[in-house]
């Protein structure tokens, strides 16, 4: 009988331990906001819910997710340390870069042994995308100062920032509202606050003429890419914090775009005159391959799948080609009219604006066809304002504006100094 009692007590102890180790996850019931609620970027949501558990709740976390279940706003976390909790918390939709669409408000709860989640679908209205200004980078070698201007859609401009020393290239970061101005032989790389022009961060140049320190700068897909004369390539987050540094032997980064996986790169052999098109894995810095071509690649864009469209000049014969980043094979697609491509601007994944010495063209990748619009007699660097449907083209000291899609000329403004670059700053 005593043996039976001992066995019974031992079984009870084991059973109790098992019950504790297999405790159920917390139960969550969300009351507010309701499913399919319509909210706006910047709104403060009042999140109410009840959470219960058989053991103390370690934490409750609220976060906003995209349709692909990627977190898009910072979480709010609460630590109840009780077996039941009435949630009544504020959650701010603070990401001003959100596009309009469907999102998920996720509430997580966990105890020591398990976790659970509940979702509420929200229709979020993003802040409409608007162009704030055309950033015009000017430089006169005689003055040896960089003048950066802001220009509105009425072609009215004002001085934004004056910087010392020379100029090599400019870029804008609408997401973080930063303006980048890169020197060449002696100028630094400045990261400027787009609202007041204050220096947010900077990379100082090592002055060593006759060689420039910086080779190129570009901002694409939330990544600032900086090429150096000695073959280094550095990638920065928008705020200027270094993400990676790679080096390509015997080559300089002439131009690059980041497509989310590769740095699609135009590389120049260190002695000059020889151009390669390369694909560099952003995650590892491994150069997949680079292909030599007897032509200059003026610009390149990821279109779909493995295809990258390339706009090239070879003497007086401009061409459109495609690079397959899987096979690293370049294929000729189309000859453009004799002359030279001066600038390319992307309209969407299919259509591209081309500033050509013979006019203004639209090229369709899907149709592999081009057509001329308007009757532009000028050519130069080009930008497309997608919110105002304007085309800006610069050459010398002049900026010309054209309507899209007609190509009709709107007006011309003459700047105080020679224009070296133009970029469009949006509100996000």
Fold of 165-293: Methylamine Dehydrogenase; Chain H (2.130.10)
| 246: CB partners within 8 A, 6+ apart | 232, 233, 234, 280, 285
Structure tokens at 264: 């699609």
Backbone dihedral angles phi then psi of residue 207, each to the nearest 5 degrees: -75, 115
Long-range contacts of 284-287 (CB under 8 A, 24+ apart): 285/233, 285/244, 285/246, 287/248
Where b means 16+ CB within 10 Å and e means fewer, 100-127 reads eeebbbbbbbbbeeeebeeebebebbbe
Flag whether pLDDT at 4 surpasses 60: no
Structure tokens at 383: 């930008």
62-95 per-position pLDDT tens digit:
999 998 888 999 999 999 999 999 999 999 999 8
Kindly tell me the burial class for residue 334, based on how many C-beta atoms sit within 10 Å of its own C-beta (0-12, 13-18, 19 or more). Answer: middle
Q: Domain segments of the chain: what residues?
A: 24-125, 165-293
**Distance in angstroms (rounded) separating the CA atoms of residues 117 and 162:** 53
Instruction: Grade residue 210 by pLDDT with cuts at 50, 70 and 90.
Output: confident
The CATH number of 24-125 is 2.60.40.10
State the pLDDT at residue 15.
Answer: 46
| 141: CB partners within 8 A, 6+ apart | 166
Contact 344, 382 (CB under 8 A): yes
Domains 24-125 and 165-293 share a fold: no
State the pLDDT at residue 306.
Answer: 93
Instruction: Confirm whether pTM is higher than 0.85.
Output: no
**Distance in angstroms (rounded) separating the CA atoms of residues 253 and 267:** 5
238-253 per-position pLDDT tens digit:
778 899 999 988 898 9
Tell me the mean pLDDT in the region 281-294: 89
270-279 per-position pLDDT tens digit:
877 788 999 9
**Distance in angstroms (rounded) separating the CA atoms of residues 353 and 365:** 11
**Distance in angstroms (rounded) separating the CA atoms of residues 424 and 411:** 18
SS3 labels along the chain = CHHHHHHHHHHHHHHHHHHHHCCCCCEEEEEECCCCEEEECCCEEEEEEEEECCCCEEEEEEEEECCCCCECCCCEEECCCCCEEEEEEEEECCCCCCCCEEEEEEEEEEECCCEEEEEEEEEEECCCCCEEEEEEEEEECCCCEEEEEEECCCCCEEEEEEEECCCCEEEEECCCCEEEEECCCCCCEEEEECCCCCEEEEECCCCCCCCCCEEEEEEECCEEEEEECCCEEEEECCCCCEEEEEECCCEEEEEEEECCCEEEEEEEECCCCCEEEEEEECCCCCEEEEEEECCEEEEEEEEECCEEEEEEEECCEEEEEEEECCCCEEEEEEECCCCCEEEEEECCCCEEEEEECCEEEEEECCCCEEEEECCCCCCCEEEEECCCCEEEEEECCEEEEEECCCCCEEEEEECCCCEEEEEEEECC
Contact 161, 139 (CB under 8 A): no
State the pLDDT at residue 17.
Answer: 46
Backbone dihedral angles phi then psi of residue 186, each to the nearest 5 degrees: -140, -10
Flag whether pLDDT at 29 surpasses 90: yes
Nearest in space to 424 (alpha carbons), one of 152, 55, 54: 152
Backbone dihedral angles phi then psi of residue 300, each to the nearest 5 degrees: -150, 145
Instruction: Grade residue 21 by pLDDT with cuts at 50, 70 and 90.
Output: low
C-alpha 85: how far from chain center: 41
111-148 per-position pLDDT tens digit:
999 999 999 999 999 888 899 999 999 998 888 899 99
Flag whether pLDDT at 399 surpasses 80: yes
137-177 per-position pLDDT tens digit:
999 888 889 999 999 999 999 999 999 989 999 999 998 99
Tell me the mean pLDDT in the region 99-105: 92
């Amino acid at each position: 009988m005593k043996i039976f009692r001992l066995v019974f007590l031992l079984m009870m102890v084991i059973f109790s331990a098992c019950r504790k180790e297999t405790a159920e996850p917390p139960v969550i019931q969300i009351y507010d906001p309701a499913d399919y609620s319509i909210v706006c970027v910047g709104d403060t949501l009042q999140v109410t819910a009840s959470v219960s558990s058989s053991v103390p709740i370690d934490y409750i976390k609220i976060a906003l997710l995209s349709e692909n279940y990627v977190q898009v706003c910072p979480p709010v976390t609460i630590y109840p340390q009780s077996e039941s909790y009435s949630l009544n918390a504020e959650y701010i939709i603070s990401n001003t870069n959100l596009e309009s669409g469907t999102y998920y408000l996720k509430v997580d709860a966990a105890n020591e042994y398990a976790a659970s989640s509940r979702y509420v679908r929200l229709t979020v209205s993003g802040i409409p995308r608007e162009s704030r200004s055309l950033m015009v980078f000017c430089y006169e070698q005689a003055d040896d100062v960089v003048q950066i201007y802001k220009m509105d859609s009425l072609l009215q401009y004002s001085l934004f920032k004056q910087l010392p020393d020379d100029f090599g290239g400019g870029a804008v970061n609408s997401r973080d509202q930063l303006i980048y101005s890169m020197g060449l032989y002696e100028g630094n790389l400045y990261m400027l606050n787009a609202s007041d022009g204050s220096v947010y961060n900077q990379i100082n140049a090592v002055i060593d003429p006759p060689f420039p320190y910086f080779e190129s700068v570009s901002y694409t897909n939330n990544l600032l890419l900086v090429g150096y004369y000695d073959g280094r390539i550095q990638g920065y987050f928008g705020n200027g914090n270094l993400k990676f540094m790679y080096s390509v032997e015997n080559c300089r980064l002439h131009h690059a775009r980041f497509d989310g996986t590769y740095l699609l790169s135009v590389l120049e052999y260190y002695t000059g005159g020889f151009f390669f098109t390369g694909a560099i894995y952003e995650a590892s810095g491994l150069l997949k391959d680079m292909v030599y071509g007897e032509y200059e690649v003026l610009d390149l864009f990821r279109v779909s799948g493995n295809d990258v469209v390339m706009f090239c000049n070879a003497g007086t014969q401009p061409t459109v080609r495609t690079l397959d980043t899987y096979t690293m094979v370049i294929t000729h697609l189309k000859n453009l009219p004799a002359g030279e491509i001066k600038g390319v601007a992307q309209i969407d994944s299919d259509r591209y604006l081309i500033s050509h010495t013979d006019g203004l063209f639209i090229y369709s990748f899907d149709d592999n066809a081009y057509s001329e619009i308007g009757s532009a007699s000028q050519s130069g660097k080009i930008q497309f304002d997608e919110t105002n449907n304007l085309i800006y083209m610069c050459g010398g000291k002049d900026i010309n504006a054209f309507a899209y899609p007609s190509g009709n000329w709107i007006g011309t403004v003459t700047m105080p100094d020679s224009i070296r670059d133009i970029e469009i700053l949006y509100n996000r």
